[in-house]
Amino acid sequence: MKLYYMPGACPLATHITLEWIGKPYDTQAVARNELKEPAFLALNPVGSVPVLVDGDLILTQSVAILEYLAELHPEAALLPRDVRERADARRWLSFVNADLHKAFSLVFGKAGYTDDAAAQEKLAAGGKAKAMQLFGVLEKQLEGKQWVTGTRSIVDPYLYTVLRWAHSLKMDLSGFPNLLAFHERMNADSGVKAAVAAQGLQ
């Protein structure tokens, strides 16, 4: 099994999940310019990471990859078995992927939407404002909890990855003590540390 990633980007969530599962895996760092080259486009026509290759299975899209890994390794208990609890975990995974990550796409991927520099700045500001609003929802969800859904799941590495982006952009999260505590707990986790170090991050 091999994970294609760019350091610090959304595949970090999958990288941490692979560490938590604890089975052997390979990784391949991909430079941004390589994403749009034919060799990589053959893996993912969209030209983005993550890509997970498992034998003859080539899987793209973070949600599909994370759920695949959780279901392949039920012993890691990264998705609840109970149908309602599993639906709730999927709800939060979608929240982080389709809402929160999407908001950051307006910041990091603003050049993909318009060539106009002023419009790009507006997009980035709008993305950050949206992300702050969504962090507020997660702040409430984390009240009294160690993990987003109450038990450790594939949602947590994804939220951690996005929180790293917020820190790198120097967004002010001081109004979100539960999120900051979650970030610190994840920083102290051995699987998180291993994935972060393997990607050459601090």
Residue ranges in contact with ligand GSH by CB under 6 A:
6, 9-10, 35, 47-50, 61-62, 97, 105
The least CB distance from residue 109 to ligand GSH, in Å, is 6
Cβ closer to ligand GSH: 27 or 178?
Answer: 27
Would you call 39 exposed, middle or buried from its count of C-beta atoms within 10 A (0-12, 13-18, 19+)? exposed
Q: Does a cis peptide bond (omega within 30 degrees of 0) precede residue 7?
A: no
Cβ closer to ligand GSH: 93 or 179?
Answer: 93
The least CB distance from residue 12 to ligand GSH, in Å, is 9
What distance in Å separates the CA atoms of residue 149 and residue 85, rounded to the nearest whole number? 8
| Residue bearing tokens 């980035």 | 124
The least CB distance from residue 32 to ligand GSH, in Å, is 6
| Identity at 129, one-letter amino acid code | A
List CB contacts of 80: < 8 A, sequence separation 6 or more.
Answer: 86, 88, 89, 149, 151, 153
The least CB distance from residue 82 to ligand GSH, in Å, is 25
Cβ closer to ligand GSH: 4 or 20?
Answer: 4
Cβ closer to ligand GSH: 25 or 150?
Answer: 25
